[in-house]
Structure 1
Amino acid sequence: MTAIRSGARARVASTRRASSEARRRGVGLALALPPVVLLAVFVGIPVVLAVGFSLGHTGGLNQTIADIGTGTRRATSWWGTGQAYVDVFTDSRFLRDLGVTVVVTVVSTLIVLAMSLGIALNLRLRGGRIASVFAGLAVVPLFIPVVIASWAILTFYAGDGFVRTAFALVGLQGPIWGYTTTAVVIGSVWTSLPFATLMATSGIQAVPDAMIEAARDAGAGTAAIVSRILVPMAGVPIVIATTFTAIGILGQFTVPYFTGPNAPSVLGVDISKYFQSFNRPQESVVMAVVVFVMASGIAFFYVRANFRTAKKEGRI
């Protein structure tokens, strides 16, 4: 009889625990559902519609833009047609601008990474007022709107800007970087440096002092400490800074629109031109899909770094 009662109590307790666990899961699902729904409605559905439109599915919600746009390719099979992609990838202008976009992204990201790491390492290893001033100055662009910064960079490096004027005062011909790809790189570095500096600095500062002191006691120099301790242990923040910087530069519009040349241009500006000026929305969507695929490839390294960190910490 006692055994029966004990079994009944155990079953009741188990039922209560399962019910409590179900309630907790329900609350968690209810809390997570609103942002998921918002992402699905305002991001997921438009992405699916855009990809379908690029493949020639011009019905439904894509009907209006397909009727207004010129040069629209319509689906010839159940999955669509790849003719719009053929049109874009056989256009020499697109291939040229794609190359410029890749070069600007790679060069700007490398410069941002080098500068942010230099500031973070200098602040950690040497410190002092100068290092703090550099770290503070690197964050200043965070509080300046991109439009204002772009216009300032353009006027600073224009033919009648500060650089040319300063050179002219000493009888020299200064460079003109306004409306050039060089100005786009400068603007990209300016706008991307604050976030990368914050991430790199936080990662470098999180390395324990004991490890650095132990390495110095073992005879390690500054280069060995940087390459074998600081940078590897701050790897995840550095990867995050690198991927977010590259993705931001890859899809930027304001900086190249204000400071860059009309041709060659980056894909962010091309998408706007093809959609508004040339009235070829399908080709602009194809370019957007290309940028999205490239950004997804860059984001893979971010996801991989987080996965490896979670696995190392035993969270998965």
Structure 2
Amino acid sequence: MTSTLPKPAERQQTVPPARARRPKRLGQRGVGFFMALPPILLIALFVGFPIVLAFGFSIGLNGGLNHTIATIGQNVHESEGWWGTLAAYQEMFSNQRFLGDLLVTVIVTLVSTITVLFLALGIGLYLKLKGGRMARLLSGLAIVPLFIPVVIASWAILTFYSGTGFLRSVFAIVGLDFPVWAFTMVAVIIGSVWTSLPFAVLMVSSGLQSVPNAMIEAARDAGAGSLRTIVSVIIPMAAVPIIIATTFTAIGIVGSFTVPYFTGPNSPNMLGVDMSNYFSSFNQPQQSAVMAFTVFVIASGIAALYVWANFRSAKEQGKV
């Protein structure tokens, strides 16, 4: 009985030759570049150019497109050369009101961000480790502020914690005097937490849910308790989403306007409200631009964590 199997030489001929990778043509790269060019030009025209123009105005370059606002504005410092002047920055950083508002902005951002992160981690961990109806209810309630406009939420917080608000009325029934938090920085922190919590819960919960259950079970089998499992396994594996949620929360709070405008005091207040007052009420646009770039520097420092988190995520996935 003869065999029907092909000979070794024939089997080698049936294997298709491996195709060598061809380098991308210059035309393909050009097409990709021109497809990405419209949004880049749009951002450069409507975002980048005004930023450059405002920075020039803040250092006393008052000619060209800055001439009109420099003529209308009060207390405008003008540079004698093309290199600009830091007179407006020196004036603001020697202004005690500005320094107080800057300190308040940093403190409110830190306290609100830490509170939001603590609540988001608590809800996300409860949903991951316990589950059930109560966990789903908590996560659903945390998303509710996402569908309520910030103006309405700020007004509700203001009336809720005012001198004739709900809490004062309830405590007055039992003969207790609840503090008035309306028009205080406490109300600003409460409003900042309220508006920032939904995104943080969504981001942190999705990151925690992506942690494999097998890793958690392995840690428990090795004798790790709940706290050790959370600290050593779950949070490190979900570090990138947690860092991204933290940076977005902090950047949103440091430049917020509506919540501190409605619920905060006249002074001190956050820089978002202060720069609006300097621009419209005090007619000092150059000083307002100095505040804006101060907030920009703070936000850029926070955004560095976001860039690092994305770089780390790409490196772990082998894209870098």
Report the TM-score range of the alignment, normalised by the length of the smaller protein: over 0.9
Taking structure 2 as the reference length, what is the TM-score of the superposition? 0.92
Question: Residue 128 of structure 1: CA displacement?
Answer: 1.0
Match of 2:53 among 49, 69, 79: 49
- Deviation of 1:31 (Å): 1.9
Match of 1:302 in 2: 306
CA distance in 2 between counterparts of 1:285 and 1:275 reads 8
2:211 is paired with a residue whose SS is coil
What is the deviation of 1:282? 0.1
Q: In 2, Cα distance between the equivalents of 1:24 and 1:210?
A: 44
- State the identity as a percent: 63
Structure 1 residues 227-253: Cα deviation after superposition (integer angstroms, max 9, x where no partner)? 011100000000000000000000000
2:257 maps to 253
User: For each residue in 1:166-214, what CA deviation from the matched residue of structure 2 results, as whole angstroms up to 9, or x when unmatched?
Assistant: 1112121111100000000000000000000001000000001110111
TM-score by length of 1: 0.93
Q: Aligned residue for 1:218?
A: 222
What is the number of residues matched between the two proteins? 300
Structure 1 unpaired stretches of 5+ = 1-13
CA distance in 1, matches of 2:287, 2:25: 50
Deviation at 1:26, TM superposition (A): 2.5
Alignment equivalent of 2:246, drawn from 225, 242, 246: 242
Q: Extract unaligned runs of 5+ from structure 2.
A: 1-19
- Residue 188 (structure 1) aligned with residue 186 (structure 2): no
Residues 1:25 and 2:29 are matched in the alignment? yes
Residue in 2 aligned with 1:156?
Answer: 160
Root-mean-square deviation (Å)? 1.2
Alignment match, 1:6: none
Structure 1 residue identity aligned to 2:132: G
- 2:108 matched to 1:104? yes
Question: Does 1:268 pair with 2:245?
Answer: no
Distance in 1, Cα, partners of 2:81 & 2:38: 36
| Alignment check: 8 A CA contact 2:61 2:82 kept | no
- Once the two structures are superposed, residues 243-280 of structure 1 have per-residue CA deviations (whole angstroms, 9 ceiling, x without a partner) of 00000000000000000000111000001000000000
Distance 2:275 2:232 in 1: 43
- SS where residue 262 of structure 1 aligns? coil
Tell me the CA shift for residue 305 of structure 1. Answer: 1.4
Residue from 69, 90, 94 that aligns with 2:94: 90
Q: Offset at 1:76?
A: 2.2
1:90 aligns to what SS in structure 2?
coil
